[in-house]
Amino acid sequence: MPVVDYLKYQEMLENAKKNKFAYPAINVVSETSANAVLKAFAEAKSDGIIQVSTGGGEFASGTALKDAALGAISLAQHIHLVAERYDVNIALHTDHCQAKKVESFLKPLLAESRKRVERGEKPLFNSHMFDGSELPLKENMDIAVELLKECKELGIILEVEAGVVGGEEDGINNEDAPAEKLYTTPDDMLYVYERLSEVKDAQYMFAATFGNVHGVYKPGNVKLKPIILKQGQDAVVAKYGEAAKFMLVFHGGSGSSLEEIRETLDYGVVKMNVDTDTQYAFTRPIAEHMFKNYDGVLKIDGEVGNKKMYDPRGYLKKAEEAMKDRVIVACNDLRSTGTTLGR
């Protein structure tokens, strides 16, 4: 199926919210990793979200250019083409654009989508994340409101964040963030709702923080408090009614127990970012291939090596398959397996 349009994306998110499941949102950095995700969603019969970070975009553009927006455009175009051959719905998203990168990353992507919309096409990306969490909340929302206005014009959903996801990922380092910043308060959630409601009928998602930490941690090392999501949702609903309930996003889920993940689904999480675990899944079979075929991959002692062993297609196929399998696990964990809406 084609990459979704605005109405289909809304339908996907409403379906998740109503039925208490979430879509895995998988970061990709190459055609190979994007292909793995597409294959996984198709096998799981799950609609899903594929996303590109600023670092992922830089990588995709090549080490000579390091142009995050250009790389994101390239990956998005590939996914638009290939997704046509699959029978599930795919939404495209950009991840963690901090305030200092809005002009170099988010604005060029919005401009590219505007060109497409003016030609009668769908926007390039279905949603974007503005991560203003390092700013005071008012300044964060001041920028978010202006971005939301532009996104609404183009049929794009905006994701925002209040509070800080701890740890380090993709060049964003919050390892020394104050503990209180890791937990979004009910007052914060009320303020976010009130500010974003200034843009009438605009669609958005909200990454509230509840102890989330990016990176690799053993189960039990990350101290999540999912009840914070319920408390914030209850505060918003009490003041503004059931329709005000947020569509929430879960960042930094590596190391979380399945019980904690499932609890967040009951509180309105409809999207969960998955990156660290799929990075490992992709790399593990490559490492195994290199260790097992050391003398074939390298030209040792004047020998010629074994082309079948050092041809990148051989080990990247293994990486694609392993990443695909890990994405299917995410679909099962988040209860999205078998929920595709079809056309």
Residues acting as catalytic residues: 95
In this structure, how many other beta carbons lie within 10 angstroms of the beta carbon of residue 226?
A: 20
Q: Which of 270, 235, 143, 242 is nearest to 198 (CA)?
A: 143
Residue 146's CB is within 10 A of a number of other CB atoms, namely 13
Contact between 84 and 38 under an 8 Å Cβ cutoff? The reply is: no
Q: What is the token pair recorded at 63?
A: 């080490």
Closest CA to 340 of 126, 48, 85: 48
* HEC sequence for 191-253: HHHHHHCCCCCCCEEEEECECCEECCCCCCCCCCCCHHHHHHHHHHHHHHCHHHCCCEEECCC
The two three-digit tokens of residue 54, written as one number: 């600023």
Q: Are 20 and 334 in contact (CB under 8 A)?
A: no
Spatial contact of 327 and 26, defined as CB atoms under 8 Å apart: yes
Residue 215, CA distances (Å) to 25, 26, 55, 221, 224 in order: 16, 15, 15, 11, 14
DSSP string, 4-70: P-HHHHHHHHHHHHHHT--EEEEE--SHHHHHHHHHHHHHHT--EEEEEEHHHHHHHH-TTT--HHH
